[in-house]
Structure 1
Amino acid sequence: MPYINIRVTDEGVTAAQKQQLIAGATDLLQRVLHKDPATTVVIIDEVATDNWGVDREQITARRQREQAAK
């Protein structure tokens, strides 16, 4: 049983977008690895931006800096 874990920041991902991720990831495993969609599990974890960092910086701070620069 394939297991796919997708992690995104909790910045307003809609239910429709999550459905697209689930379908797309499932289709990818079917197409590339010939896995059965009926047994493919997809989990989407939403992570608070305070708990996600890039280049030594929390995403929360990065987003604030980007907004201030506009």
Structure 2
Amino acid sequence: MKVIEIIVSPTGQTKLETRGFKGAECRDASRFLETALGQTTSESLTAEYHSTSVFQQNHLEQKE
């Protein structure tokens, strides 16, 4: 499941955490929230960010 969690501290600082996304898709999914919440002061990338989905494409040639 893909989740974007917004954490607001008692001082009003906000933190976004994403889970279930692979690679840079987390940035694409949370971009609108980052823009709405203001300037990014720090960023920590998780292991999920550095993992990629495995995609294999097979080309088959049809013989006549």
TM-score by length of 2: 0.32
More strand by share: 1
Q: Which has the larger radius of gyration?
A: 2
Give TM-score, length-normalised by structure 1.
Answer: 0.30
> Is the helix fraction higher in 1 or 2?
1
